[in-house]
Amino acid sequence: MTIGEAIHSGAKLIKNKLNRFEAELLLVHVLSCTREHILTHPEIIITKKSERTFLQLITNRQRGWPIAYLVGQQAFYGLDFEVTPSVLIPRPETELIIEQVLALSHITNQPLTIIDIGTGSGCIAITLAKLLPNAKVTAVDISSNALTVAKRNAMLHQVDITFIKNNLLVSLKTKDFIHNKTAVPVFIANLPYLTRLQIDTSPSIAHEPRLALDGGEHGLVLYQKLFKQINSLNLSAFDLFCEIDPSQKQRFTTLAKQSFPDSTFTLLKDLRGHNRLGHIKKRSH
């Protein structure tokens, strides 16, 4: 089988709008070459082993496996991250968190203390550590497997991050993540926020870890727990960024305002104009 034949047969099997492009990505992964190489050398014959590996990947794609899991990586904010079925695949809409924290950094004009809760692949924490080298970054996750992936990504991007295995912030003290008494902590939470109905009726996420998706009956159970935990820390000032599903706009707004009545609340839209990110800001008076 030649490169050209492999792409053609793979594209026919995948059967979706991006079929040829996806077949090309999978073949590039198998051959460890560039897309330019396979496009300019369709006549090259691939080995039987490469052919078998490629066709197995095509079969898995037919079964609904995301491309990111099949090739083992996903781009986020211009950086490549290792992803496995133990972590959620980074989404473009989550890049809004990066933009907002960078903006906050410019306003404060001092090194930030960042706590990424539910870090998954580590894409948020690592991107911020990369872009804000003076920031103190702590990443928390309940999943040992997710933390293993995140630690590998931190090594890949050569950033220094403190990783903590924990259920949100339960039992953690401020000294676990705040080492400068004058620092205003910046909490980031891209927690599971889908309802069980959304998960069960969304084939596109069927292969992603349910632990990273399931937000309970209304999708905000974990945010309710986190808000209580942050309140128990008795902080005089903090910033909290929370990614949500657009359908949760009203419910999340009510929850945020009731949980932090002495704070300001802003709801931000992603690039598609969807309500995506809640920003809760508390400052000492």
Residue 225 lies in a domain: yes
pLDDT at 80 over 60: yes
For residues 118 and 177, membership in a common domain is answered with: yes
Task: Kindly state whether residues 90 and 45 are assigned to the same domain.
Answer: no
- Whether 142 and 218 share a structural domain: yes
Whether pLDDT at 18 is above 80: no
80 within a domain of the structure (yes/no): no
144 pLDDT tier (thresholds 50, 70, 90): very high
Percent of the chain residues topping a pLDDT of 90: 67
Chain-centroid distance of CA 50 in Å reads: 31
pLDDT tens track for 82-107: 999 999 999 999 999 999 999 999 98
- Of 193 and 36, more confident: 36
What are the tens digits of pLDDT across the range 19-76? 888 889 999 999 999 999 999 988 989 999 999 999 999 999 888 889 999 999 999 9
In a domain, 152, yes or no: yes
CATH number of the domain enclosing 217? 3.40.50.150
Residues 59 and 101 in one domain: no
**pTM reported for the whole predicted model:** 0.88
pLDDT tens for each residue of 103-136: 999 988 888 999 999 999 999 999 999 999 999 9
Same domain, 93 and 17: no
Whether residue 17 is predicted with pLDDT greater than 60 in this model: the reply is no
E runs forming strands in 45-172: 73-76, 79-82, 113-117, 136-141, 162-165
What integer is the mean pLDDT of 145-161? 97
Q: Can you give the length of the chain in residues?
A: 285
- Mean of pLDDT values over 217-239: 91
- Reported as half-sphere exposure (CB side, CA atoms, 13 A), residue 115 has a value of 25
- 270 with 137, same domain: the answer is yes
Domain check: are 42 and 130 in the same one?
no
Q: Residue 64: what pLDDT?
A: 85
The confidence score (pLDDT) of residue 218 equals 74
Taking residues 240-268, report their average pLDDT. Answer: 95
Q: Is pLDDT of 214 > 60?
A: no
pLDDT at 199: 61
What's the pLDDT score for residue 54? Answer: 92
C-alpha of 215 from chain center: 15
Same domain flag for 116 and 18: no
| Same domain membership, residue 125 and residue 260 | yes
Element (H, E) at 243: strand 238-243
CA distances from 271 to 89, 99, 204, 267, 268 (A): 18, 12, 21, 13, 10
Angle ∠(67,165,101) on CA atoms, nearest 5 = 70
Containing structural domain, residue 172: 86-282
Average pLDDT, the chain: 89
CATH number of the structural domain spanning residue 23: 1.10.8
**Residue 5 parent element (H or E):** helix 3-14
Average pLDDT over residues 190-203: 70
Q: Which residues contact 119 (CB under 8 A, 6 or more apart)?
A: 125, 139, 140, 141, 146, 147, 150, 163
Q: How many independent structural domains does the chain possess?
A: 2
- And the tokens for 103? 């903006």
Find where tokens 């968190």 sit: 97
The predicted pLDDT at position 77 comes to 97
